[in-house]
């Protein structure tokens, strides 16, 4: 069975924005390219799991989301990374699009998207990680049986229930990836890519 990194999108894989709705709203989190590539070349699957209630709310359409995700895949290909899957939840009970304004099992903190991806792709959840910037991500990961990492953007209150405690907390997505790589003995610390690269190195590093 394979191992996976389940990645929240907004605030984790890309920088936080309020209801991003087009490709230019997506900016990769700093320093994650070499680290994600290291996981993928070590055999880990990279799977995005994202709540997109903006669809149920009528802020943008599923087609807009597809355009954003095509751009996201292109941005990652520059780093030699191919996302294995993108799962999204378009629902929200308070939405304005009737058929999407329903309760569901996919909206985080529920674990539906992770369970579905694991079943489809033969993933060992107990040896996989969920990384997100809010405790709903952490809870979804914990409920799916994954290890969990919180990227602390300063928004989350101390959790009242154990399902919302992350295994580790990091100040950035790149740092979370480094901590996980160390915890999983993916690579000696000395051989790990640095957290940040000088701007002038980017085109060189991406081409390697
Ligand atoms: Mg997020
Ligand atoms: Zn849903």
pLDDT tens for 107-153 read 999 999 999 999 999 999 999 999 999 999 999 999 999 999 999 99
**Catalytic residues, which ones?**
8, 10
**φ/ψ of residue 35, rounded to 5:** -70, -45
Mean pLDDT over 163-176 rounds to 95
Calculate how far, in angstroms, residue 28's C-alpha sits from the geometric centre of ligand 2: 25
List the domain boundaries for the chain: 4-207
Residue with tokens 């009737």: 98
**Domain 4-207: what homologous superfamily?**
HAD superfamily/HAD-like (3.40.50.1000)
Calculate how far, in angstroms, residue 190's C-alpha sits from the geometric centre of ligand 1: 30
Mean pLDDT over 52-60 rounds to 96
Contact between 89 and 113 under an 8 Å Cβ cutoff? The reply is yes
Mean pLDDT over 180-205 rounds to 73
């Amino acid at each position: 069975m394979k191992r996976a990194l389940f990645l929240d999108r907004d605030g984790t894989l890309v920088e936080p924005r309020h209801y991003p709705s087009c490709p230019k709203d997506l900016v990769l989190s700093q320093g994650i390219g070499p680290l994600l590539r290291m996981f993928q070349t070590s055999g880990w699957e990279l799977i995005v799991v994202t709540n997109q209630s903006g669809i149920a709310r009528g802020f943008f359409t599923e087609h807009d989301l597809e355009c954003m995700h095509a751009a996201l895949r292109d941005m990652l290909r520059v780093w030699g990374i191919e996302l294995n899957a993108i799962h999204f939840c378009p629902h929200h009970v308070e939405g304005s699009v009737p058929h999407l304004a329903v309760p569901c099992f996919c909206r985080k903190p529920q674990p539906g998207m992770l369970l579905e991806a694991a079943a489809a792709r033969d993933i060992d959840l107990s040896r996989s990680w969920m990384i997100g910037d809010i405790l709903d991500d952490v809870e979804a990961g914990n409920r799916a049986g994954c290890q969990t990492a919180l990227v602390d953007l300063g928004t989350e209150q101390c959790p009242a229930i154990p399902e919302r405690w992350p295994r580790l907390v990091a100040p950035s997505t790149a740092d979370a990836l480094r901590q996980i790589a160390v915890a999983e003995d993916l690579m000696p610390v000395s051989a790990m890519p640095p957290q940040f690269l000088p701007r002038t190195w980017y085109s060189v590093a991406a081409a390697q």
